[in-house]
Amino acid sequence: MTILDKIIAQKRKELVELINLPLLKEVEKPVPTFKEQVASSSNMSIIAEIKRASPSKGAIDLTVDPIEQAKTYEGNGAAAISVLTDETFFNGSLNDLHAVRKAVDLPVLCKDFIIDTLQIDHARAAGATIILLIVAALDDEKLKELYDYATNLGLEVLVEVHDEVEMERALAIQPEIIGINNRNLKTFEVNLATTEKLASYITNPNTILISESGMRVRQDVERVGKVGAEAILVGETLMRSDDLNATFSEMQIPLSKGSEQHAR
Ligand SMILES: O=P(O)(O)OC[C@@H](O)[C@@H](O)c1c[nH]c2ccccc12
């Protein structure tokens, strides 16, 4: 049984409790869409993640104040904030997401393992404007159903893949945002070559490519920028940074949109 199988099995159990959980109070404040954020920037967009712990790394920063962390991310030019909401494996919560949405004026991604529309209702009520759908965790039918459900609610959807087969399955639903996860969720192995290998599958210039996981230094960002990533999703490096200002400067590389950018 892979870790992804374990997480999904746990999610199925938790769904039963979710039915009885009241929805959080919706946040009315409007924020830009992630698409708008990317379109209005000539730099690599950074989705900055609040991640207390993970199954692969254990504790990262258990005492973080999600509100302060998100505000610092925003102050340093993050394009969006990602909040891990899984409790069992990542020590996050929907309450974290709710607090972050209220504290910043940025799009907010609900980072969780979504297998049911009920989770989308909870994510939206907590203030998510973007949800994650992990292709490896869903069959084609479920993927399409959840994608349509979320987009009909006005949410943006990040469709995450990590190999060719998943990429083909993702492309079949013509998503506007595709995330290539450099971390294999079955083995935890991180390799930026994953982005290099899969980027060329995305031929629609309007599809936003996000390279996810394993970004440490500027060269990493340059590497994925070269093959067409317009955004990166960064967790651990930001959570461990003691100088976020410097870390953001290091990762904010200019993009030459239109030239090599779309040669993917
Ligand atoms: O901490 P990192 O290596 O910067 O990774 C961030 C993010 O990509 C990672 O948290 C992630 C990507 N896809 C996921 C799916 C579920 C949970 C977590 C993730």
**pLDDT tens per residue, range 144-198:** 999 999 999 999 999 999 999 999 999 999 999 999 999 998 889 999 999 999 9
**pLDDT tens per residue, range 75-101:** 999 999 999 999 999 999 999 999 999
Task: Give me 79's structure tokens.
Answer: 């394009």
CB-CB contact of 169 with 143 (8 Å): yes
Q: Pick the residue whose CA is nearest to atom 5 on ligand 1.
A: 213
Please report, rounded to a whole number, the percentage of residues in the chain having pLDDT higher than 70.
97
Pocket test for ligand 1, best of 61, 83, 138, 183 (most atoms within 8 A of CB): 183
Cα-to-centroid distance, 234 and ligand 1 (Å): 7
What pLDDT score does 186 carry?
83
What pLDDT score does 256 carry?
81
Domain 3-17+34-262 has CATH 3.90.1300.10: no
Q: Which of 89, 212, 199 is nearest to 158 (CA)?
A: 212
ipTM for the whole predicted complex goes beyond 0.85: yes
Q: How far apart are CA 251 and CA 212, in angstroms?
A: 13
Give one word for 174, left, alpha or beta, with left for phi > 0 and alpha for psi -120 to 50.
left
Cα-to-centroid distance, 213 and ligand 1 (Å): 5
Q: How are beta strands 45-50 and 80-84 bridged, if at all?
A: parallel
For tokens 């965790």, the residue is 137
Cα-to-centroid distance, 233 and ligand 1 (Å): 7
Q: Which atom of ligand 1 is nearest to the CA of 238?
A: 4
Kindly report whether the global pTM for this prediction surpasses the value 0.90.
yes
For tokens 């404007």, the residue is 129
**pLDDT tens per residue, range 216-253:** 999 999 999 999 999 999 999 999 999 999 999 999 99
Please report, rounded to a whole number, the percentage of residues in the chain having pLDDT higher than 90.
95
DSSP-assigned letter for residue 10:
H
Q: How many CB atoms lie within 10 A of CB 59?
A: 10
DSSP-assigned letter for residue 186:
T
Assess whether pLDDT exceeds 60 at residue 58: yes
Which run of H or E residues covers position 222? helix 218-226
